[in-house]
């Protein structure tokens, strides 16, 4: 697949995409959420919403994975206007990380200051069982590449951004407090990102556990890095859909990921709505 924006003109491409979106949904948006595999139903409950297919937006790639509808939905939740991405693009689909993170650039130019990143993840921690949620406290980038490699555009951010507080501690606390209020099982943990698309081997999982990760997946980290490059506040939430290879002897299958996402839909939606209400 060919890259969408030229790395030297990402800013201009993102401005063009933002202008297109404003032409379809002229609403002030300060909060956005990226909905991972099986979690896209949250966007269906937004009020007064406008839905735009990714293939209509200049510079956007095409979502090809089951559980990723491929739409940007702008609407209201708890009195807050938000932008919800129903699905994301992945490095393993053949896209460059410039393609994968391009929507995050566009969201920032739309005025988004707080970004909620969600994903489906495999558990490396036996205390994180399928159906539970994990607030990401930090990440380990094992994808072998960084989305900021290449020429830096100072209009987005500095050449060497600091990632000490990638996932805002105060926002983590909000998620934990709201989860406790509705009795949803949520723990903090470290998320490790690998490139995929094959699931990890037991030996690889043993390595990642040794490095200190609690959950593993194939997304989120490039988006978080780019968001922090642009000084956005980031919340990360993983839906634990399976036990990783070697933690369980059961084979890992994507249909299980979708099924667990469906099972936790109501709890997940309620939690996100409560968090969004607190953000304002």
Active site residues: 37, 68, 90, 92-93, 120, 218-219, 242, 254
**E strands of 104-232, at which residues?**
114-123, 133-141, 186-193, 215-217
Assigned token pair, 60: 């956007």
Buried b (16+ CB within 10 A) or exposed e, 148-175: beeeebeebbeeebeeeebbbeebbebb
Residues 6+ apart with CB under 8 A from 156: 10, 11, 105, 108, 229, 230
- Distance, in Å, from the CA atom of 108 to the CA atom of 231, rounded to the nearest integer, reads 9
Residues 6+ apart with CB under 8 A from 70: 53, 54, 55, 62, 63, 86, 87
Q: Which of 200, 205, 1, 164 is nearest to 97 (CA)?
A: 1
**Cβ neighbour number for residue 111 with a 10 Å cutoff:** 16
- What is the distance, to the nearest Å, from the Cα of residue 123 to the centroid of all Cα atoms in its chain? 17
Assigned token pair, 244: 């990783």
Q: Which of 237, 66, 51 is nearest to 139 (CA)?
A: 237
- Cα dihedral: 177, 78, 58, 110 (round 10): -80
- Distance, in Å, from the CA atom of 154 to the CA atom of 143, rounded to the nearest integer, reads 25
């Amino acid at each position: 697949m060919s890259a969408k924006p030229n790395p030297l003109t990402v800013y201009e491409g993102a401005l063009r995409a933002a202008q297109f979106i404003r032409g379809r949904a002229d609403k002030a948006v300060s909060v956005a959420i990226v909905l991972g595999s099986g979690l896209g139903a949250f966007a269906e409950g937004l009020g007064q919403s406008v839905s735009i297919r990714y293939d209509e937006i200049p510079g956007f790639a095409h979502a090809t994975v089951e559980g990723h509808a491929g739409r940007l939905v702008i609407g209201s939740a708890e009195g807050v206007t938000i932008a919800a991405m129903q699905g994301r693009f992945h490095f393993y689909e053949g896209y460059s990380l410039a393609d994968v993170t391009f929507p995050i650039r566009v969201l920032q130019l739309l005025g988004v200051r707080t970004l909620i990143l969600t994903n489906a993840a495999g558990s490396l921690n036996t205390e994180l069982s399928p159906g539970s949620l994990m607030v990401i406290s930090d990440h380990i980038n094992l994808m072998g590449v960084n989305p900021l490699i290449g020429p830096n555009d100072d209009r987005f951010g500095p050449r060497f951004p600091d990632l000490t507080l990638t996932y805002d501690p105060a926002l983590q606390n909000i998620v934990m407090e709201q989860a406790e209020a509705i009795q949803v099982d949520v723990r903090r943990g470290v998320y490790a990102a690998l490139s995929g698309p094959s699931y990890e081997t037991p030996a690889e999982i043993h390595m990642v556990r040794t490095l200190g990760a609690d959950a593993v997946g194939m997304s989120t980290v490039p988006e978080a890095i780019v968001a922090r490059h642009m000084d956005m506040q980031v919340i990360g939430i993983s839906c634990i859909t399976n036990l990783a290879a070697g933690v369980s002897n059961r084979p890992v299958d994507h249909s299980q990921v979708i099924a667990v996402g469906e099972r936790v839909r109501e709890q997940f939606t309620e939690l996100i709505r409560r968090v969004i209400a607190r953000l304002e």
